[in-house]
Amino acid sequence: MEKKTNPFRAEIAEMLDLVVNSLYSKKEIFLRELISNASDAIDKAKFQSLTDKSLIADNPDWKIEIAVDTAAKTMMVSDNGIGMDADELERNLGTIASSGTKAFRQALKENKGADLPELIGQFGVGFYAAFMVADTVRVVSRKRGGTGAFQWESTMQGGYTIADSTRDDFGTSVMLHFKDDQTDFLERWRVGELVKRYSDFIAYPIRFRRIDVPKDEKEEDRKRREEDEAKPLNTMTALWKRAKKDVKKEEYAEFYKHLSHDWKDPLETIPFSGEGAVEFKALLFLPSEAGMDLYMPQTKHGLSLYVRNVFIGDDFEMLLPEYLRFVKGVVDSSDLPLNVSREMLQDDAVIARIKSAVTSKILSTLEDLKKRGEDYLKFWNAFGCVLKEGIRSDYANAERIKKLVLYPSARTEAGKLVSLADYVKAMAPGQTDIYYLCAPKVETARTSPQLEQALKHKCDVLLFCDPVDEWLVDSLGEFEGKKFVDIGRGDVQFGTETEREAEKTANEKSATELKPLLESIKKQLEADVSEVRLSTRLADSPACLVATANGLSPAMERMLRAMNKDAPKEKRILELNATHPLVEKMKGLTGDALKDVVDLLYAQALVAEGSPVPDPARFSKLVVSLMLGK
């Protein structure tokens, strides 16, 4: 045929400018796209040969080759796949978004073809990524089952040419002439790096060949080069597509380290397949330790995404809920359609199904891990405070997550943790609620005076000491029909109904006797407390501070201030122990003596809960006076 020069169709100039300058965030993507197209071409040849054996009469050894000539600044990506004739070159390369792959799939669907090969080039623009690095692109192709070879060539300046050509083998070669500032892509190490990153699991061997071999190349250098060129750059077999029984633990560990840049083995490996409405394979890992970037807001977290063995990108956050951001791994799906850049996902419904399945599998794994005890404690100590976020952010799985959480408690020994289920089983007779106390540290919580009556009645109290705990309180609601009750807030009583009635009667009587003292204390501390009353929480301590039913706790105030948020001064309730000798002694004090004891008592209540005293100098002076017996 005569050489034909044609303008690009469909406002091609504008579209090419978009592809080259806006569509892809990294220029290196061009090689991924060309290799993907080559893989698609081989897939297509294999599929069509199922019904037409003449297409593979040459008994092809399916392969992809990357040949470079550094002196000429050229790279040729070749395959021995289905190939294209002149009409297909014009139709597929002359119009963006009209790729042969997409048309091929559509034709098979219309004919209700089964077992469609997994072809990734659905949008017909990947090929044009080559113009990001090349000023001239030449395609030579010879179609299986056709006659002759044809050449398509363009500099992207307004059009392209199609002409006869020569090619010994069936398939397609794409030759790029690189721009002067892009020649680093011709280096062997660079090509190998990109193939490893983006195309490592393409099903066909990808080999590198150097064209401009030095004429004076030594024999040993030649042997070394030829040995290197004989080795595929890619592994070809995706670890997540192999049966678990066929993969050694060491292989999983090595892949995890490569993926996460962690130097330790993972705590747990989770290979699984999603089947049904959406099909995918995933290989997930639970790290053994938390990385330093776990709490850095600017750090991206997520899974690596592959589509039909082609790497699309890492840190795809939409595949994991935020509270599982510590999970590492990959997802590979044939059902994921991609938008033209392949770097933003197109079908939210598909993503949502994959995310749901991945989340459920991780939670199931954690449920199984919890039964193993020691391994789960390692996990919890590393990631428990992150997992807890799901109680608030993932309503659908909140109950499952509640069953996974662990807390220290007032009645368990130091270093031990208790689950909500175990807490409920061990509840004291007559106890109907799950008690908890918020504090900045476990040690501070364990010595809090607010625990005294609870422990006296053999009621355990969960100690909420992670910064996230206070934020989650409103989302806890109930567990197995039991409400969560903060013993550091509002009115709380312990024991049986009879014990509560008896305590209430005694407090009412004492309140009448101590009314003048309570009023005096309230007047002196009116700038700091909203109420002074007798306590149902105290057994051994003279006083404690509690929050109002709807007020901010000290821990929440501290958290808000740490976040540079306005935290209004919250007046607390000062509770006194009517049976304590100090309170009895205070009834006989007046004037400065009473004032000093009240200030000291209030400061002592602040110290006991881990809060700072408002006037450290005066507090120190009062303590010294007390020690001197003045």
Where in the chain are the domains?
4-230, 239-381, 507-627
Query: How far apart are alpha carbons 4 and 161 in whole angstroms?
Result: 5
Looking at per-residue pLDDT, the higher value among 121 and 469 belongs to 469
**CA angle, 612 then 615 then 616, to 5°:** 70
Beta bridge partners of 345: 338
For the segment 57-80, the average pLDDT, to the nearest whole number, is 95
Give the chain's count of helices (H) and strands (E): 21, 22
Query: How far apart are alpha carbons 88 and 102 in whole angstroms?
Result: 13
Give me the amino acid identity at 228: D
CB within 8 Å of 147: residues ≥ 6 apart:
none
Biggest CA-to-CA distance, the chain:
117
Q: Is the dihedral of CA 439, 440, 441, 447 positive or negative?
A: negative
- The percent of residues in the chain predicted with pLDDT above 90, rounded, is 48
Query: How far apart are alpha carbons 264 and 6 in whole angstroms?
Result: 58
**CA angle, 75 then 30 then 225, to 5°:** 40
Three-class secondary structure of residue 292 per DSSP: coil
Contacts within 8 Å (CB) and 24+ apart, 188-193: 188/68, 188/228, 191/31, 191/66, 191/68, 191/233, 192/233
Query: Which tokens sit at 448?
Result: 């809090």
Query: How far apart are alpha carbons 5 and 435 in whole angstroms?
Result: 81
CATH fold of 507-627: Four Helix Bundle (Hemerythrin (Met), subunit A) (1.20.120)
For the entire predicted model, the pTM comes to 0.75
Give the per-residue pLDDT at 261.
74
Structure confidence by residue, pLDDT tens digits, 377-415: 999 999 999 999 999 999 999 999 999 999 999 999 888
Residue 145 phi/psi, 5-degree rounding, is: 85, -5
Give the per-residue pLDDT at 342.
44
For the segment 351-372, the average pLDDT, to the nearest whole number, is 93
pLDDT at 339 over 60: no
pLDDT at 95 over 90: no
- Tell me the pLDDT of the chain averaged across its residues: 86
CATH code for residues 4-230: 3.30.565.10
Give the per-residue pLDDT at 129.
84
Structure confidence by residue, pLDDT tens digits, 434-486: 999 988 889 989 999 999 999 999 999 999 998 888 888 888 989 999 999 99
Give the per-residue pLDDT at 6.
77
Give me the amino acid identity at 465: C
Looking at per-residue pLDDT, the higher value among 357 and 470 belongs to 357
Query: How far apart are alpha carbons 340 and 347 in whole angstroms?
Result: 13
Residue 430 phi/psi, 5-degree rounding, is: 85, -10
CATH fold of 239-381: Ribosomal Protein S5; domain 2 (3.30.230)
